[in-house]
A = this chain, B = another copy of it.
Amino acid sequence: MKKMINGVESLLEESLNGFAKAHDDIIQFNHQPHFVRRNEATKQGKVTLVSGGGSGHEPLHTGLVGKGMLDAACPGQIFTSPTPDQMMAAAESVENGGGVLFIVKNYAGDVMNFEIAAEMLECEHATVLVSDDVSLPKDHSTGRRGVAGTLIVEKIVGAAAEQGRSLMECKELGDRVNNATASMGVALTSCTVPAIGQPTFDIGDNEIEMGVGIHGERGREPMDLVSASDIVEHLATAIDEDLKPQKGQQVLLHVNGFGATPSMELYLIYELAAEHWAEKGVKVTRSLVGNYTTSLDMAGASITLTLLDDELTALWDEPVHAANLRWGC
């Protein structure tokens, strides 16, 4: 394993210390228990958005804490759910009379721990489960995984909360964005979890893993390394079968890098995906390209499509001022 670290035990804490120092104008890092929260006090009665999950997916979620997005995020150990005490402490630290909305990626550990935290919360609360990964069938036993679409949910609901919408309105909006969003990814290499020290899965020199999860879960199928156009056709077709975007539909197209893929390849994937949907008369009106929901040092990318309407577009365009996502302020 080749990584720039001091030790497996200290990595998360040291890295979060650096993150907090680099962005001390926006966020602060609470050490016991671990959470990251906005510096700025929010308006009385604003719905509070709290997310979290295993570390190793940065900037998701800690890098998305800030005005117009999350109020707090709980980083677990790498690829490991945070604990209910982190979620409780984070929620209580930022709650301001409007109730707490948990935004949770659909993984068994995260779901269970956020449920425990929710039961203990004394304030009004609700949860949005994100399950945008179409590589698994809709009726999969534990449901579909939450992947890069999580950022879309957090951005849009974050804007709505900032506008003063109620907890139930934010919850319904989050569910609606989740249902309007589909993602699928492909890996060229495995990631390596520092505590394990070797790649999560084996993959041949001329093989790719289609439908991979963001923890290196094996996907739909390993297949031969094909052209970028063929890769995009695979991913986009799976998204189309699920989301069925109609001619004239406006969409947000998000190409997400898993961490080790050059910008040049991500923009190539974006170009091919944009062409795919242009040919179907689907209108890409908003875009996001970059490393946002990563899997440590995995090479590969995912495509996420969200069906937009005027309301969702306007909320997407609202200002956001997080450490790793910023516009309009």
Which residues of A line the B interface, CB within 8 A? 2-7, 11-12, 14-19, 21-23, 55-56, 58-59, 63, 186, 188-189, 205-206, 225, 227-229, 231, 259-265, 267-272, 274, 284, 287, 289-291, 294, 296-297, 299-301, 324, 326-327
Partner of A260, one of B56, B227, B297, B324: B297
Indicate if the CB atoms of B205 and A271 lie closer than 8 Å: no
Contact, CB under 8 Å: A21 / B326: no
Counting every copy of the chain, the complex holds 2
Given A225-B2, A227-B5, A268 contacting B15 (CB threshold 8 A): yes
Interface contact A5-B268, CB-CB below 8 Å: yes
A264–B12 contact, CB under 8 A?
yes
Q: Are A22 and B262 in contact (CB under 8 A)?
A: no
B residues near A231, Cβ cutoff 8 Å: 4
**Residue ID in chain B nearest A227 by CB atoms:** B6
Cβ 8 A contact of A18, one of B7, B56, B274: B274
Q: Which residues of B contact A269 (CB under 8 A)?
A: 4, 18
Enumerate the 3 nearest inter-chain pairs by beta-carbon distance, A residue then B residue, closest first.
A18-B271, A260-B260, A58-B263
A4 B58 Cβ-Cβ under 8 A:
no
Q: Could you tell me if A4 and B228 are in contact, using CB atoms closer than 8 angstroms? A: yes
Are A262 and B18 touching (Cβ within 8 A)?
Answer: no
A299 touches B260 (CB 8 A): yes
Q: Which residues from B are CB-within-8-Å of A326?
A: 326-327
Contacts of A324 in B (CB 8 A): 263, 290
In Å, the complex CA distance between A125 and B259 comes to 40
Q: Inside 8 A of A23's CB, which chain B residues have their CB?
A: 287
**Residue in A14, A231, A270 whose Cβ sees the most chain B Cβ within 10 Å:** A14
Cβ of A206 to closest chain B Cβ, rounded Å: 8
Q: How far is the CA of A327 from the CA of B11 in the complex (A)?
A: 29
Chain B proximity of A92: nearest CB distance (Å): 26
**How many Å from the CB of A295 to the closest CB on chain B?**
9
List B contacts of A225 (CB < 8 A): 2
Interface centre among A2, A59, A324 (most CB of B within 10 A): A2
Q: Shortest CB–CB separation between residue A180 and chain B, in angstroms?
A: 20
The verdict on A188 contacting B268 (CB below 8 Å), with A59-B263, A262-B297 known, is no
Given the interface contacts A259-B260, A265-B3, does A271 sit within 8 Å of B227 by beta carbon? no
B-chain residues with CB within 8 Å of residue A289 when the two chains form the complex: 18-19, 22
Tell me if A21 and B263 are in contact (CB < 8 A).
Answer: no
Q: A12 to nearest B CB, angstroms?
A: 7
Taken together as a complex, chains A and B put the C-alpha atoms of A268 and B59 apart, in Å, by 14
**CB-defined contacts of A265 to chain B, threshold 8 Å:** 3-5, 15
Partner of A56, one of B5, B58, B188, B264: B264
28 contacts between A and B (CB under 8 A): A2-B206, A4-B265, A4-B269, A4-B301, A5-B265, A5-B268, A6-B227, A6-B229, A11-B264, A14-B268, A14-B272, A15-B267, A15-B271, A17-B271, A19-B270, A19-B289, A21-B274, A22-B274, A58-B262, A58-B263, A58-B267, A259-B260, A260-B260, A260-B299, A262-B297, A291-B291, A326-B326, A326-B327
